[in-house]
Structure 1
Amino acid sequence: MLAQIRSIDSNFGRTNGGLNQNLDSLPENEINVKLSGKTKYTDYKIISHKNDTTIVDTTLTIQKEYKFNFLRKDNFELLAFHNQGQTFNNLAYDFTNISQFPDIGFKAKLFNYFDIEDVNYYQVPTPTTEIMYRTGLEQGQVVDALFTTNFSKRFNLAIAYKGLRSLGAYRRSLASTGNFRVSFKYETPKGQYAIRGHAVNQDFFNQENGGLTATSLEAFVNDDPNFSGNRGRMDINLNDAENTFDAKRLYFEHTFKLLSSKDSLQEREFSNLKLGHSFIRDSKFYRFNQGTATTDIFGDANSSGSINNKTSYLLYNNQLFIDFNSKYVLGRFRVKSDLSTYSYGYENLQNNTVGITKNKLKGDAVSFGADWNGRIGNFYVNASGSITPGIGRLSGNRLFGEAFYKKDSVLTIKGRVGISNKSPNFNFLLHQSTYNDYNWENNFAQIGTHTLGGVIESKWGNISVDITNINNYTYFNENSKPVQFSGDVNYLKAKVSKEFILGKFALDNTLMYQKVASGNSVFRVPEFVTRNTLYYTDEWFKGKPLLVQIGATFKYFSKYNANAYNPLLAEFTLQNDTEIGYPTVDLFFNARVRRTRIYFKADNISSFALDKNYFSAPNYPYRDFVIRFGVVWNWFI
Structure 2
Amino acid sequence: MSKTFQIKKNQLTLKSVLVSVFVCLVIQINGQNRLKGIGGTLPVRENDSVKNNRLNERRGGKTDGKDEKANIKDYLIISVKNDTTHVDTTLTIRKDYKFNYLRKDNFGLIPFANLGQTYNSLTYDFQTTGLMPSFGARARHFNYKEIEDVYYYRVPTPLTELFYRSAFEQGQLADSFITINTSPQFNFSIGYKGLRSLGKYQNALTSTGNFSFTSNYQTKNKRYNARGHILTQDLMNQENGGLDPESVQNFIGGDEEFDDRSILEVNFENAENILLGKRFHLEHDYKLIQKDSLSKNEIKIGHIISFEDKYFQFEQSSSVSSFFGESFVASDIKDRATLENFYNKVYVNYSNDILGDLHFNISNNNYNYGYDKVVVLEGGNTITNRLKGNIFAAGGGYKKQYKGFQLDGEFGLNISGDFSGNFIKATATFKLNDDIAASATLNHSSKAPNYNTLLYQSDYKNYNWNNSFNNTETQQLAFNLRYKQLANITVDLNTITDYVYWKQDETVSDITQAIRPYQNGGTITYLRAKLENEIKVGKFALNNTVLYQNVQDDANSLNVPEITTRNTLYFSSQLFKKAMFLQTGVTLNYFTKYYMNSYNPLLAEFYVQNSEEIGDFPRLDFFINAKIRQTRIFLKAEHFNSSFGENTFFSAPANPYRDFTIRFGLAWNFFM
- Is this a same-fold pair by TM over 0.5? yes
Q: Deviations over 1:30-68 (max 9, x none)?
A: 446627645322111111111111111110000001111
Structure 2 residue aligned with 1:417, among 430, 437, 442? 442
- The equivalent of 1:262 in structure 2 is 292
Structure 2 residue aligned with 1:313, among 309, 328, 339? 339
Query: What is the rounded CA distance, in whole Å, between the counterparts of 1:514 and 1:416 in structure 2?
Result: 19
Structure 2 residue aligned with 1:502, among 514, 537, 542? 537
Q: Out of 43-52 and 346-355, give the one that drifted further.
A: 346-355
Where 2:250 maps in the other structure, the secondary structure is helix
- The equivalent of 2:460 in structure 1 is 435
- The equivalent of 1:473 in structure 2 is 499
Contact kept? 2:312, 2:336, Cα under 8 Å: yes
Structure 2 residue aligned with 1:336, among 357, 361, 367? 361
- The equivalent of 1:74 in structure 2 is 105
Contact kept? 1:31, 1:41, Cα under 8 Å: yes
Where 1:113 maps in the other structure, the secondary structure is coil
- The equivalent of 1:9 in structure 2 is none
- The equivalent of 1:375 in structure 2 is 401
The answer as to 2:476 corresponding to 1:463 is: no
- The equivalent of 1:616 in structure 2 is 651
Q: CA shift at 1:256, angstroms? A: 1.4
RMSD: 1.5
Q: Deviations over 1:174-233 (max 9, x none)?
A: 1111111111110111112111111110011000010011111111000121111x1111
Where 1:472 maps in the other structure, the secondary structure is strand
The answer as to 2:53 corresponding to 1:34 is: yes
Query: What is the rounded CA distance, in whole Å, between the counterparts of 1:176 and 1:142 in structure 2?
Result: 10
Amino acid at match of 1:623: R
Contact kept? 1:367, 1:386, Cα under 8 Å: yes
Q: Which runs of 5+ in 1 are unaligned?
A: 1-25
Contact kept? 2:375, 2:382, Cα under 8 Å: no
Mapping of residues 86-485 of structure 1, within 5 Å: 86-228=117-259, 230-263=260-293, 270-329=296-355, 331-350=356-375, 353=378, 355-390=381-416, 392-393=418-419, 395-459=420-484, 460-479=486-505, 480-485=515-520
The answer as to 2:594 corresponding to 1:560 is: yes
Contact kept? 1:113, 1:202, Cα under 8 Å: yes
Amino acid at match of 2:491: V
Q: CA shift at 1:351, angstroms? A: 5.5
Q: CA shift at 1:350, angstroms? A: 4.9
- The equivalent of 2:60 in structure 1 is none
Query: What is the rounded CA distance, in whole Å, between the counterparts of 2:621 and 2:381 in structure 1?
Result: 52
Where 1:57 maps in the other structure, the secondary structure is coil
Distance 1:351 1:292, change over 3 A: farther
Query: What is the rounded CA distance, in whole Å, between the counterparts of 2:48 and 2:609 in structure 1?
Result: 54
Query: What is the rounded CA distance, in whole Å, between the counterparts of 1:205 and 1:540 in structure 2?
Result: 43
Amino acid at match of 2:354: Y
Contact kept? 2:632, 2:667, Cα under 8 Å: yes
Query: What is the rounded CA distance, in whole Å, between the counterparts of 1:519 and 1:441 in structure 2?
Result: 26
Query: What is the rounded CA distance, in whole Å, between the counterparts of 1:118 and 1:88 in structure 2?
Result: 18
Mapping of residues 540-555 of structure 1, within 5 Å: 540-541=575-576, 543-555=577-589
The answer as to 2:622 corresponding to 1:604 is: no
Q: Out of 38-47 and 423-432, give the one that drifted further.
A: 38-47
Q: Deviations over 1:579-613 (max 9, x none)?
A: 11021100000000010000000110110221100
Query: What is the rounded CA distance, in whole Å, between the counterparts of 1:616 and 1:41 in structure 2?
Result: 40
The answer as to 2:607 corresponding to 1:573 is: yes
Contact kept? 1:356, 1:441, Cα under 8 Å: no
Contact kept? 1:454, 1:466, Cα under 8 Å: yes
Q: CA shift at 1:340, angstroms? A: 1.2
Q: CA shift at 1:85, angstroms? A: 0.2
Q: CA shift at 1:97, angstroms? A: 3.4
Query: What is the rounded CA distance, in whole Å, between the counterparts of 1:166 and 1:149 in structure 2?
Result: 31
Amino acid at match of 2:624: F
- The equivalent of 1:3 in structure 2 is none
Distance 1:520 1:64, change over 3 A: farther
Where 1:180 maps in the other structure, the secondary structure is strand
Contact kept? 1:494, 1:514, Cα under 8 Å: yes
Query: What is the rounded CA distance, in whole Å, between the counterparts of 1:290 and 1:272 in structure 2?
Result: 58
Contact kept? 2:473, 2:498, Cα under 8 Å: yes
Contact kept? 2:375, 2:384, Cα under 8 Å: no
Distance 1:29 1:510, change over 3 A: closer
Distance 1:116 1:519, change over 3 A: farther
- The equivalent of 1:22 in structure 2 is none
- The equivalent of 2:81 in structure 1 is 50
Contact kept? 1:350, 1:434, Cα under 8 Å: no
Contact kept? 1:351, 1:433, Cα under 8 Å: no
Contact kept? 2:441, 2:477, Cα under 8 Å: yes
Where 2:202 maps in the other structure, the secondary structure is coil
Query: What is the rounded CA distance, in whole Å, between the counterparts of 1:476 and 1:278 in structure 2?
Result: 34
Contact kept? 2:472, 2:499, Cα under 8 Å: yes
Amino acid at match of 1:598: I
Query: What is the rounded CA distance, in whole Å, between the counterparts of 2:319 and 2:598 in structure 1?
Result: 21
Q: Out of 26-35 and 429-438, give the one that drifted further.
A: 26-35
Where 1:215 maps in the other structure, the secondary structure is helix
Tell me the matched-pair count. Answer: 604
Contact kept? 1:128, 1:147, Cα under 8 Å: yes
Amino acid at match of 2:566: R
Amino acid at match of 2:346: L
Q: Out of 624-633 and 320-329, give the one that drifted further.
A: 320-329
Q: Deviations over 1:60-89 (max 9, x none)?
A: 000001111010111111011011100000
Query: What is the rounded CA distance, in whole Å, between the counterparts of 1:116 and 1:419 in structure 2?
Result: 22
Distance 1:85 1:376, change over 3 A: same
Contact kept? 1:258, 1:273, Cα under 8 Å: yes
Contact kept? 2:48, 2:89, Cα under 8 Å: no
Q: CA shift at 1:392, angstroms? A: 1.1
Contact kept? 2:392, 2:417, Cα under 8 Å: no
Contact kept? 1:30, 1:594, Cα under 8 Å: no
Q: TM-score, normalised by structure 1?
A: 0.93
Contact kept? 2:325, 2:460, Cα under 8 Å: yes
Contact kept? 2:284, 2:302, Cα under 8 Å: yes
Contact kept? 2:383, 2:457, Cα under 8 Å: no
Amino acid at match of 1:527: E
Amino acid at match of 1:257: K
Contact kept? 1:293, 1:301, Cα under 8 Å: no
Contact kept? 1:30, 1:59, Cα under 8 Å: no
Aligned-pair identity in percent equals 41
- The equivalent of 1:589 in structure 2 is 624
Q: TM-score, normalised by structure 2?
A: 0.88
- The equivalent of 1:19 in structure 2 is none
- The equivalent of 1:8 in structure 2 is none
Where 2:521 maps in the other structure, the secondary structure is coil
